[in-house]
Structure 1
């Protein structure tokens, strides 16, 4: 959501298992299968041939973004006892769309997820920005247009805008760029391990940062004078299935029956994504904390994988 120099991220979603290489792979498989049908030779085990096929497939994909046909010419791709073998074919955009239809369908999953998480209806979206080279694929653009009811905005370079955005954000954080504010969100939930190995969320994913939230916990055993705070990141129900960000201990709790001590756990995330976690015994005032810097956070690929796995195993 944008307005008056403020860009607020309402939700994030993605699929790290899907990208331009997957579209290339479909063309590669098509070339290999076609050549095998014509010549009776399987090129899939020939590393040099496969490298040439990969380069030809990527070029064909790019060509088909601007043309309806792409010529694929691979002279001397291999040889047998009868002599050298060549491969030549014309790949149509229609055939490419047929080969990659399921990949295009898969791109819509994260779109639906992000809309759902944001609480917005697609009719409330005013502009669709598509980034990355594969966003130029006509079938991808058409799928977005059919789903959203509007085509992608053409006023950006999809190959450059991510880098430009990162540079602008660096300028904002460094104080060199004025008048812009990015309100980002936490990509995954943050919480702690509680009794039974359960992961209890304190800050839900897609919470706008900076953010600060507290929750009261207690002891699990009578006379317990120390607790271990196991800080977690992820969407799974059990701690063992999520990522450990850090562990610290709070000692000096006054002995009491279980459930009586009040221990306040606070998560404080700053604008740089640095997480400060503290635990305080409200009875004694004893406190301990841990700071988790951004370099211990999960990569984009890990984030997408964690969300997908959480959805897959939600029924467990």
Structure 2
């Protein structure tokens, strides 16, 4: 907020905030609250891959289906969109909200610590200061290996033992690093396949693949994307700036300055309730265009019952407990009657921010 105000020389009140597409309701609500705490009026929460697609497609006249592969610092998203004459329609979205660049750093950190122990006999896991230096060096090495085939990790006076100071000096090749993080890159494949399946498109239908997020600079990631979609990813968007540019375009749409753009996004996760036997009954399926609402009539399970407990969950698993519980509420004041007679209508509403409201 301060950065924007300093640059513009005026007060900034309204904001469009972006979140990973696969964020659930609680994560979205927390992000919106954080904006409000910072003194911003959050006009809209939009999904990062969708924002990147806006940045890419604003000046394109050709209709096409695109995939946005977004591997950032902490999260991974994949979205499939159809762009037609200014209409950006999200067909499906998938991802992993706990997979990103920090995990790559962590894998490399563990490798360095293990090697150091093997060579010097010293275990760094007890030494927080040393670990912090290794973590910074790991991140730096990761970035360097995107442009060079080998890097040196050199940390003098990293720690001490009875024999004196210990220095860390090791060479790391790109191939070694790719081996260390291979499982993380592999974890992005299944969500991509699922997103294509949900969008009912094959890789041959996808006319462009955009890479977003700093981690998408890693050559092995780019190669994986190319193998997965059968085409080289597009270089037409800046992986760090595309999302912010897209958010600015959406801000322009909301302010009425940009008129020929329509954004149709989807809810990433199914919304439903817990029913008899702990089963998760879906009311709004994942990849439904938002905003959307669905009403459901509830009744009682026993004679003379005066209240009903309703547990609202979000996710794809069969049992309610395996999904994210968004909250529960109790319908009270039901007039006593034989079971199944009272009719209570509850409406579930997902707004344009992907946030759930129940009435």
Q: Where on the TM-score scale, by shorter chain, does this alignment land: which range? A: 0.7 to 0.9
Q: Return the match for 2:158 from 77, 96, 101.
A: 77
- The number of equivalent residue pairs is 277
CA distance in 1, matches of 2:182, 2:219: 12
CA RMSD of aligned residues (A): 2.5
Secondary structure of the structure 2 residue equivalent to 1:18 = coil
CA distance in 2, matches of 1:252, 1:103: 51
Aligned to 1:243: 325
CA distance in 2, matches of 1:101, 1:274: 35
Kindly indicate whether residue 82 of structure 2 is the aligned counterpart of residue 32 of structure 1.
no
Aligned to 2:287: 206
Aligned to 2:352: 271
Q: Within 5 A, what are the aligned runs for 1:174-185? A: 174-185=255-266
Kindly indicate whether residue 98 of structure 2 is the aligned counterpart of residue 17 of structure 1.
yes
> Is this contact kept in 2: 1:28–1:53, CA < 8 A?
yes
Relative to its length, the structure with more strand (as a share) is: 2
CA distance in 2, matches of 1:176, 1:139: 40
> Is this contact kept in 1: 2:158–2:165, CA < 8 A?
yes
> Deviation digits for residues 123-162 of structure 1, max 9, x if unmatched?
2111111211111111111011111101221111111222
Q: Within 5 A, what are the aligned runs for 1:1-316? A: 1-224=82-305, 227-241=308-322, 242-249=324-331, 251=333, 255=337, 257-277=338-358, 289=359
> Deviation digits for residues 265-295 of structure 1, max 9, x if unmatched?
4333332335443xxxxxxxxxxx3xxxxxx
CA distance in 1, matches of 2:144, 2:229: 26
CA distance in 2, matches of 1:43, 1:118: 47
Secondary structure of the structure 1 residue equivalent to 2:177 = helix
* Cα offset, 1:62, TM superposition: 0.5
Aligned to 1:306: none
Secondary structure of the structure 1 residue equivalent to 2:125 = coil
- Higher relative CO (Cα under 8 Å, sequence separation at least 6) belongs to 2
Q: Which moved further from structure 2: 22-31 or 238-247?
A: 238-247
* Cα offset, 1:261, TM superposition: 4.9
* Cα offset, 1:47, TM superposition: 1.5
CA distance in 2, matches of 1:158, 1:136: 8
TM norm structure 2: 0.69
Q: Which moved further from structure 2: 89-98 or 224-233?
A: 224-233
> Could you say if the C-alpha distance between residues 228 and 41 of structure 1 is closer, same or farther in structure 2, counting changes exceeding 3 Å?
closer
> Is this contact kept in 1: 2:105–2:139, CA < 8 A?
yes
Q: Which moved further from structure 2: 195-204 or 46-55?
A: 195-204
> Is this contact kept in 2: 1:218–1:263, CA < 8 A?
yes
> Could you say if the C-alpha distance between residues 192 and 69 of structure 1 is closer, same or farther in structure 2, counting changes exceeding 3 Å?
same
> Is this contact kept in 2: 1:135–1:158, CA < 8 A?
yes
CA distance in 1, matches of 2:122, 2:334: 73
> Deviation digits for residues 201-224 of structure 1, max 9, x if unmatched?
211111111223334443323455
CA distance in 1, matches of 2:174, 2:118: 21
CA distance in 2, matches of 1:215, 1:35: 60
CA distance in 1, matches of 2:278, 2:110: 45
* Cα offset, 1:63, TM superposition: 0.6
* Cα offset, 1:230, TM superposition: 4.0
TM norm structure 1: 0.78
* Cα offset, 1:2, TM superposition: 1.2
**Runs (5+) with no aligned partner, structure 2:** 1-81
